[in-house]
A and B are shown apart, each in its own frame.
Chain A
Amino acid sequence: MKPSTQHNRQQEKLVMEAGDIGRAVTRIAHEILERNKGVKDLALIGIRTGGVYLAHRLVRRIHDIEGVTVPIGELDITLYRDDLALRKEQPILRKTSVPFDISGKIVVLVDDVLFTGRTIRAAMDGLIDLGRPAEIQLAVLVDRGHRQLPIKATFIGKNIPTSREENIQVLLEEAGEDDRVVILKA
């Protein structure tokens, strides 16, 4: 257990444990393969930062199942946000890295939490600047509702109803945490 997050524990409500996350990732990997009838033309692109970690886990799981490593990319959506003109200070940029041509590919965007849908809108714009995928699908670990755009996930780890004031956090080992999903009360 990492000391940095310990003081928050009291206000946290645990909604997914490490085992739940692992099983959800395994199921999503199977669903991706089932829907796309295998790995042909398949590519995964994680949205920074949580989505990148999950995309890597999915790629490993797909490899366990099919014996094939599908191409993986990392997308920073900052430059496509719809609120840049409103912010006093510009958010820190992280690098986009998609080392393969996405044209003609079935791209599965991966993110940790689906909320308003604005991130996904930005991600789709960013993706289309890189090429013309045959199809874009969306995999998320948590769908917490409250969409502000007509966007729907293709693969969902868990639906977690929340109030708008609550904050959902997906904490992952790759970021130095114990794997878990928590709701933080405002």
Chain B
Amino acid sequence: MSLKRKDLLSLAPLSAEEIKLILETADSFKEVTGREIKKVPALRGRTVVNLFFEPSTRTRTSFELAAKRLSADVINFSPSSSSVVKGETLLDTARNIEAMQADIIVLRHSSAGAAETLARGVKSSVINAGDGWHEHPTQALLDLYTIRERGLPFEGLRVAIVGDVSHSRVARSNIYALAKLGAEVRVVGPPTMIPMGVDKLGAKVFYDLDEALRGVQVIMMLRLQLERQGRALFPTIREYARLYGLTSDRVKLAEAGAIVMHPGPINRGVEIAPEVADSLSSVILDQVANGVAVRMGILYLMSGAN
């Protein structure tokens, strides 16, 4: 078993075995990140380019650290500091980066499908670090890793994904992957934030949070994008927080020992109450720590010679 893919664009086409391979590979890197010297020479001489057209601190930093801990050279490209503002297209920018012999390009872009377009146009491996509302495969993989680390088996696992599912690439990647691994996925949020046809991806739709949380082992909160307020998705932040905010009383509806996840950055007091974010059931900081190990695993697996 090995990952015979040039690119990691989406979790939709990955098999359960490929997902498990990535998680098992990340185990080795989790051990490396726990050492005093957190660096291995596996990607010496390779170049990883972080091409971020959307602002992101945590994902970019996580990829940068992952690449550096594998001894790769890392370059960070962001549009404000490059020729993109001068009108260069995505593909031209990428070809320039490729001409500098980048082995792996990590792309964050506001348009769904940008990573796919890029992957077709360049020989370098492309890793999708979030494309529009489409997918964010590495975030979902680190979520899966965190669930698995807690000893929860995926088969039959009950997971509630809460919030703005429509505009969440994290939710989409998680739904694909969790369904493949045999979990029972529930999505819950206001009707304006639940995409049409999500049931066809294997998720059960709920509009009432209390009902959705009953008996789940994993609560996956999504960030409320406050900038969407006033676009008829939800009336007020206060109302949203009352109906869909995760409080400690609501956590009690889930199975005892259930874990609370959030991809960050969190809006304290909106989708998640501060005491929940800081509680023992919260694995939010584990997710961040695991992100580096999981991304090291992905970079390693994608770094086979071209």
Contact = CB atoms under 8 A, between A and B. Distances in A.
Interface string B38-53: 0111111110000000
A95 interface: yes
Given A87-B305, A89-B4, A90-B300, A125 B25 contact: no
A94 B2 contact: no
Interface stretch (A76-84, A108-116, A158-166): A76-84
Contacts of B37: 129-130
A57 B21 CA distance: 30
B41 A90 contact: no
The A interface, classified by DSSP as helix, strand, loop or mixed, is loop
A49 to B, nearest CB: 14
Chain B at the A interface: SS class: loop
A89 B2 contact: yes
B28 A76 contact: yes
Interface in A127-147: 129-131
Interface string B171-212: 000000000000000000000000000000000000000000
Contacts of B27: 93, 95
**Residue among B4, B44, B304 with most chain A CB within 10 A:** B304
Contact of B28 (A88, A93, A125): A93
A90 B304 contact: yes
Contact of B40 (A79, A87, A92, A131): A79
29 contacts: A76-B28, A78-B28, A78-B42, A79-B32, A79-B40, A79-B41, A80-B41, A80-B42, A85-B305, A86-B305, A87-B304, A87-B305, A89-B4, A90-B2, A90-B3, A90-B304, A92-B2, A92-B21, A92-B25, A93-B300, A95-B27, A95-B31, A96-B28, A96-B31, A125-B41, A129-B35, A129-B37, A129-B40, A130-B37
A90 B35 CA distance: 23
A97 interface: yes
Interface in B1-19: 1-4
Contacts of B21: 92
